């Protein structure tokens, strides 16, 4: 069976060292250039919030910035889509809990 | 029952309804509950246009004074609709604030509310201090406000499927993808569509902004202009705003729905026309819509907008809906184009059904006569 070809994204070099950020107080390892969503998924954190009405789990879904299901709160930035947010060393990430 | 089912399957019914929005579905429900056979046609999917994409406001304060009694009668239907349809409709009646941010707007608010109260609205004027005490999330420089316990909202996303299940359980045949190409009115009505031909004793046109096109197929000119209203939804936030907020100039509606998201509307215009089928966001206009929302409710500022969209709303020259017989046709009826059609739709569809059934709708409909502009149109 033919295997898919790997394509490396410029600036993202596997095994080029790691950084870490905190998510709900836990240290999450990430690679330079990797998104917060990707690092959280690899760390085994699929659920980023629960719906208010039926308490259903929600997390990374469309992967392209449309659905907002992967929203997280980044200290100093606010609520962002984790699928489009590069992981930065030392960033503090929490569950999204915006307030009116 | 089986013969009626066989008839509708063969494209024949007592009443053919064109347009599967809130007017058409309530008309279908009223007729079917009285034992009439009904075929409901839609050019695309039912519940796909104004009924589905509006912001869900069931405001009373934001209606023209003469429409206040009709809005309250429609609320009588909304009040029991969840039980009637056996579904959660996201219906809330927690009241609403109508606000004015300038002196001119405050004067207008005061004038209109007096007239609305004469027509039966339950509302009170709030001093800025009282408003701050009751709703500290509204901007402190708000000049004037009124409060009515009669405002509310429902979820268009939940209402549509529940109505569909109900009318189908009553035996109504829904035909989607049936764009009307021609209508012939002889001894009976023939509606020729892209999904086949349909025959009925009566025709009900409930096609919203498209109603003028259907009426024109019968040689009748009905003036309808088009608004392309924009709506935006924010990310979920901690529940804070327990009621709807409207504006003295009709340029803002806001509510926080059950999942915590805020829906922001107000009739700001997007880009598009029926001819080109476009319904696009006009970002230059949207910015003003969102700035106004943040000016009225400063706490919205940190919230992300998840999505904005636009939808068509058919508008009559006097902003009163059409409801009655099509001029010159005893067996063709029209109900369409209420400003705030989601609020008024249950009543308008029901009255249309009653008109077809008995010729005596339970509420007066003279001011909605579709012939009222026929001199101007001729």
What does the pLDDT look like over B148-165, one tens digit per residue? 999 999 999 999 999 999
Q: What is the mean pLDDT of residues B357-364?
A: 98
Residue A86 pLDDT grade (very low, low, confident, very high; cuts 50, 70, 90): very high
Give the three-class secondary structure for A80: strand
Higher pLDDT, B121 or A12: B121
**Contact status of A98 with chain B (Cβ, < 8 Å):** yes
- The CATH number of the domain holding residue A52 is 3.10.20.740
- Domain extent at residue B239: 96-149+225-315
Q: Which of A90, A100, A82 is nearest to A27 (CA)?
A: A90
Instruction: Judge whether residue A50 has pLDDT over 90.
Output: no
**Contact status of B301 with chain A (Cβ, < 8 Å):** no
From chain B, pick out residues whose CB is under 8 angstroms from the CB of A62: none
Q: What is the DSSP letter of B268?
A: -
For B100-166, give the DSSP string.
Answer: E-SHHHHHHHHHHHHHHHHTT---EEE-HHHHHHH-TTS-TT--EEEEETT-EE--HHHHHHHHHHH
Q: Over pLDDT 90: what percentage of chain B?
A: 94
- pLDDT of B373 reads 95
What does the pLDDT look like over B172-211, one tens digit per residue? 999 999 999 999 998 899 999 999 999 999 999 999 999 9
Average pLDDT value over all residues in chain B: 96
- pLDDT of B377 reads 45
Tell me how close the Cα of A6 comes to any Cα of chain B, in angstroms: 33
- pLDDT of A1 reads 67
**Contact status of B258 with chain A (Cβ, < 8 Å):** yes
Instruction: Judge whether residue A9 has pLDDT over 60.
Output: yes
Tell me how close the Cα of A9 comes to any Cα of chain B, in angstroms: 28
Out of B315, B333, B367, pick the residue that ends a domain: B315
Q: Model ipTM?
A: 0.76
Are B362 and B33 a contacting pair, CB within 8 Å? no
Instruction: Judge whether residue A98 has pLDDT over 80.
Output: no
Instruction: Judge whether residue B8 has pLDDT over 70.
Output: yes
- Domain extent at residue A75: 19-95
With an 8 Å Cβ cutoff, are A98 and B303 in contact? yes
- The CATH number of the domain holding residue B280 is 3.30.9.10
Identify whether A55 is part of a domain: yes
Q: Backbone phi, then psi, for B130, in 5-degree steps?
A: -65, -40
Give the three-class secondary structure for B181: strand
Out of B315, B343, B369, pick the residue that ends a domain: B315
B161, B255: one domain: no
Are A84 and A33 a contacting pair, CB within 8 Å? no
Identify whether A81 is part of a domain: yes
B125, B181: one domain: no
Q: What is the mean pLDDT of residues B96-120?
A: 97
* Contacts with B293 (C-beta within 8 Å, 6 or more apart), sequence order: B252, B254, B264, B266, B300
- The CATH number of the domain holding residue B336 is 3.50.50.60
- pLDDT of B378 reads 41
Among A9-13, A57-61, B227-231, B272-276, the range scoring the smallest mean pLDDT is: A9-13
Identify whether A56 is part of a domain: yes
- pLDDT of A18 reads 86
From chain A, pick out residues whose CB is under 8 angstroms from the CB of B241: 100
From chain A, pick out residues whose CB is under 8 angstroms from the CB of B237: 98-100
Q: Which of B300, B302, B340, B299 is nearest to B319 (CA)?
A: B340
What does the pLDDT look like over B228-259, one tens digit per residue? 999 999 998 888 998 999 999 999 999 999 88
Residue B274 pLDDT grade (very low, low, confident, very high; cuts 50, 70, 90): very high
User: What span, in angstroms and rounded, lies between the C-alpha atoms of B272 and B190?
Assistant: 31
B232, B355: one domain: no
B306, B338: one domain: no
Buried b / exposed e along A50-82 (16+ C-beta atoms within 10 A): eeeeeeeebbbeeeeeebbbbbbbbeeeebbbb
B168, B308: one domain: no
Number of structural domains (chain A) is 1
Identify whether B277 is part of a domain: yes
Identify whether B276 is part of a domain: yes
B196, B210: one domain: yes
Number of structural domains (chain B) is 2
From chain B, pick out residues whose CB is under 8 angstroms from the CB of A100: 137, 237-238, 240-241, 256, 262, 297, 299-300, 303
Identify whether A90 is part of a domain: yes
Out of B287, B315, B343, pick the residue that ends a domain: B315
Identify whether A9 is part of a domain: no
B355, B218: one domain: yes
B229, B310: one domain: yes
What does the pLDDT look like over B287-345, one tens digit per residue? 999 999 999 999 999 999 999 999 999 999 999 999 999 999 999 999 999 999 999 99
Identify whether A8 is part of a domain: no
Identify whether A23 is part of a domain: yes
Q: What is the mean pLDDT of residues A83-98?
A: 91
pTM of the entire predicted model: 0.91
B343, B265: one domain: no
């Amino acid at each position: 069976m033919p295997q898919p070809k790997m394509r490396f994204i410029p600036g993202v070099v596997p095994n080029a060292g790691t950084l870490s950020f905190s998510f709900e107080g836990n240290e999450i390892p990430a690679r330079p250039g990797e998104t917060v969503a990707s690092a959280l998924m690899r760390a085994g954190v699929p659920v980023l919030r629960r719906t208010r009405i039926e308490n259903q789990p929600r997390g990374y879904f469309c992967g392209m910035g449309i659905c907002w299901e992967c929203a997280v709160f980044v200290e100093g930035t606010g609520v962002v889509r984790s699928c489009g947010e590069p992981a930065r060393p030392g960033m503090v990430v929490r569950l999204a809990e915006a307030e009116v | 029952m089986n013969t009626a089912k066989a008839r509708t399957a063969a494209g024949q019914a007592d009443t053919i309804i064109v347009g599967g929005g809130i007017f058409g579905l309530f008309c279908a429900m009223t007729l079917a509950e009285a034992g009439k056979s009904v075929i409901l046609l839609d050019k695309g999917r039912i519940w796909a246009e104004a009924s589905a994409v509006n912001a869900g406001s069931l405001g009373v304060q934001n209606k023209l004074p003469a429409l206040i009694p009709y809005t309250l009668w429609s609320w009588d239907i909304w009040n029991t609709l969840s039980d009637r349809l056996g579904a959660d409709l996201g219906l809330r009646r927690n009241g609403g604030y109508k606000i004015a941010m300038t002196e001119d707007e405050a004067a207008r608010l005061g004038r209109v509310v007096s007239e609305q109260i004469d027509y039966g609205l339950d509302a009170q004027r709030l001093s800025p201090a009282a408003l701050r005490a009751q709703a500290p999330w509204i901007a402190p420089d708000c000049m004037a406000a009124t409060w009515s316990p009669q405002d509310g909202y429902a979820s268009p996303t939940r209402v549509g499927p529940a109505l569909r299940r109900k009318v189908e359980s009553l035996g109504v045949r829904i035909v989607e993808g049936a764009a009307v190409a021609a209508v012939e009115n002889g001894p009976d009505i023939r509606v020729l569509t892209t999904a086949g031909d349909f025959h009925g004793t009566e025709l009900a046109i409930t096609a919203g902004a498209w109603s003028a096109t259907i009426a024109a197929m019968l040689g009748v000119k009905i003036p309808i202009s088009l608004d392309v209203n924009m709506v935006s939804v924010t990310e979920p936030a901690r529940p804070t705003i327990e009621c709807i907020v409207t504006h003295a100039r009709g340029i803002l509606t806001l509510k926080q729905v059950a999942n915590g998201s805020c829906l922001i509307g107000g009739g700001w215009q997007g880009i598009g026309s029926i001819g080109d089928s476009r319904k696009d966001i006009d970002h230059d206009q949207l910015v003003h819509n969102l700035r106004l929302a943040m000016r009225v409710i400063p706490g919205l500022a940190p919230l992300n907008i998840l999505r904005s969209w636009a939808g068509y709303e058919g508008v009559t020259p006097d902003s009163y809906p059409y409801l009655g017989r099509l001029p010159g046709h005893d067996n063709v009826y029209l109900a369409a184009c209420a400003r705030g059609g989601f609020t008024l739709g249950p009543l308008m569809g029901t009255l249309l059904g009653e008109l077809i059934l008995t010729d005596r709708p339970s509420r007066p409909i003279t001011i909605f006569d579709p012939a009222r502009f026929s001199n101007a149109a001729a």
